[in-house]
Amino acid sequence: MSTPFTGVALVAPVSAGYARISELGAAWFVGAALEAMLTQSGLPASAIDGLAVGSFTLAPDSVVTLTQYFGIEARFLESLPFGGASGIVALRRAARAVQCGDAEIVACIGADTNRTEGFRDLVENFSSFSADASWPYGAAGPNLPFSLITARYMAQTGAAREDFGRLCVAQRANAQGFSQALLGAKPLSMEQYLGARQIAGPLHLFDCVMPCAGAEGFLVMSEDRARRLGLPFARVLAAEERHNAFAEDDVQWRAGWHAFADALWQRAGCGPADMDLLETYDDYPVISMLQMEGLGFCAPGEAPAFVRRTPLTIGGGGLPHNTSGGQLSVGQAGAAGGFLGIVEAIRQVTGRALGQQVQGARRAAVGGYGMINYDRGLCSAAAVLEGA
C-alpha cells in the first residue's frame, strides 16, 4: 500500500478567463490562474517554488519558460500531458514533492487557449495515431471514439438517451450561479436535450463538450503552512492513477478506476456512501457513467438505473454531481478540464463554492480521464478529498 498523503493541504482553488474563443496564448491563461491564486492566498510569486502545468497549446513555451515569465525560482517542475487526468496527477506529484521537502508550495495549473480553427489543429496533431491513421480519413477528434464507446455501452447495458440526458440536465441546473460556466445561463430541459441535432451515432449536440479557453488551478502546501497563513484547505484522503488499463478490451467499457477503486477507498478510510458530492470528468456523459461504476457508486452496467433513481442536483436529496455544471456546462478549456473537478471539490468541501454550495459538504470524490486515442482514453485517475 502506498504512503498516505498525510500533512498535505490543497488551497486557493481558482477558475480564470473562460471564453469561447480567444487569441490570447495558453501562457496568458496560466498567468491568469497564478495571479488569482496569489491574490486569494496573499502570497507573493517568490513564495512559489514548484510549478505543475497541464496544457495542449502551450508550445513553443514550456513549464520552464513560464518560470521566467512569472518570476518563479523553482525547485520542482512537472509537465502533465495527461489530458483529463492531469489535475489529479498534478495533485499526486505535487503532494509527494511537498512531503519529501522538494518544494514548499506548488502551483498546479491546467490552462489552454482556443483560437479560431485551434481545435481543428489540435485534433489533427493530437498523436501519431491521429496524424497518420485517423485524420487523413476524416475521423480525427473525440466524437468518433466516444460514439463507439457510447454505442457499445448502450447495447451492453440497455442505457437510453434519456439516461444520459439526466446527467446533462442536472449539470446544467447545478451550473446556475457559477459565473465561469459559459453555458450556465441557459437552462436545459429534457425536451431540448432529446430534440438536439445528431452529431455522431448516438451522440447529439448536448452530449458533446464545447471547446473553449480558460484555466483552473490550486496550490499544494503543508497543512502547517496553510494554518499559519489562515487559509481554508482540503486534505487528500487518497489519490490514484492508472494508464492503459484493460488494453485487451475491444472498445472501452471500463478504465483504471475499476482496477484501483477498492484500494483507493481502503486508503481513504471511507466509501462511496460517505461522499457528499461526486465530480466526474464529463466530456461525454457515458464517461461519467463509467466513473460511477468504476469508483463503486453502482455496479458495472448499472449506472443507467443509478441515475434514474438518484437525484444529481444540488439540494435534490441524492448525490450532487458535477456541482459547477461540469465541462458540459462550463466548456472544455483543453487540459484545464482535467482540473475542473478537483478545483470545484476543494471549493465545496471548504464551504466556498462560487456558485451553489452543497450544504454540509465534507467529503468529495473526483474522477479524471484523458488522452483518447481512437477507441479509448489511456489515462484514469481519482481522488478523495476532505475539508479540514
pLDDT digits (tens, 9 = 90+) for 358-385: 999 999 999 999 998 777 899 999 999 9
Looking at the fold, whether 347 and 218 belong to one and the same domain comes out as no
C-alpha grid cell, residue 315: 439540494
Question: What total of structural domains would you count in the chain?
Answer: 2
The enclosing domain of 103 has a CATH number of: 3.40.47.10
Round to whole Å and give the CA distance between 83 and 92. 15
Looking at the fold, whether 221 and 197 belong to one and the same domain comes out as no
Given 171, 195, 229, the domain boundary residue is 229
What mean pLDDT is predicted for residues 197-204?
96
Q: In the predicted model, what is the mean pLDDT of the chain? A: 94
Write down the pLDDT at residue 127.
Answer: 64
Looking at the fold, whether 181 and 261 belong to one and the same domain comes out as yes
Looking at the fold, whether 181 and 102 belong to one and the same domain comes out as no
Could you tell me if residue 190 is inside a domain? Answer: yes
**Residue among 364, 50, 344, 360 at smallest CA distance from 238:** 364
Given 196, 229, 262, the domain boundary residue is 229
Helix and strand numbers (H, E) in the chain are: 14, 11
Could you tell me if residue 225 is inside a domain? Answer: yes
Q: Which domain holds residue 217?
A: 8-117+213-229
Residues 220-241 have pLDDT tens digits of 999 999 999 999 999 999 999 9
286, 262 Cβ separation under 8 angstroms: no
Looking at the fold, whether 220 and 166 belong to one and the same domain comes out as no
* Residue 125 scores a pLDDT above 90: no
C-alpha atoms less than 13 angstroms from C-alpha of 224 in its C-beta half-sphere:
5
Looking at the fold, whether 101 and 173 belong to one and the same domain comes out as no
Given 200, 229, 258, the domain boundary residue is 229
Could you tell me if residue 286 is inside a domain? Answer: yes
Could you tell me if residue 129 is inside a domain? Answer: no
**Residue among 375, 368, 293 at smallest CA distance from 338:** 368
Looking at the fold, whether 19 and 165 belong to one and the same domain comes out as no
Looking at the fold, whether 30 and 158 belong to one and the same domain comes out as no
Looking at the fold, whether 24 and 165 belong to one and the same domain comes out as no
Round to whole Å and give the CA distance between 325 and 321. 8
